[in-house]
Amino acid sequence: MVLTATIILLGLFMLVPPLRKNNFYMLHTGLVILSAYYVENNLFTVTPFHPKTLLLFLVFHLISVNLVTFIAYGVDKKAARNGEWRIPESNLHTLEFLGGWGGALLGQKIFHHKSKKKSYQTFFWMMMLFEAGLIFVILRFLHII
């Protein structure tokens, strides 16, 4: 599990240049790898790239990326109130695209952040539609739906 998580997350880090500047992605990566390490050493052993291992990785990934995205919205809102250095919108959109849209929606509702900026909302919802379409195509390809 640790090997699978490390290869996937650090592979993305190396292949997608914007992730290299996104500290929240690094927090997400650390959380997933630590979770995988805990499961592998305390609960049960896993086989790298086994379907159940990939499913467990996906669960850890989605929980972590949504938590980190929610935190990023809170940090950015606090920075906006205090006139401090802000988190680039591209970093927020990257986290959302990686599956953190649930945390983004919750962050928008709770922190009232980025919810009225039309350009941000337009890009956010277009990306959500694209991601939903991509998931639909993948599930159709795998004959799940």
**Domain boundaries defined on the chain:** 2-114
Question: What pLDDT does residue 30 have?
Answer: 83
* % of the chain with per-residue pLDDT over 70: 99
Angle between helices 101-111 and 118-141 (to 10 degrees): 150
Least confident of 6-10, 63-67, 116-120, 125-129: 6-10
Distance CA 86, CA 138 (A): 35
Is the pTM higher than 0.85? no
pLDDT tens string 97-121: 889 999 999 999 999 888 888 999 9
**Token pair for residue 65?**
């990326």
Distance CA 56, CA 34 (A): 13
Distance CA 108, CA 111 (A): 6
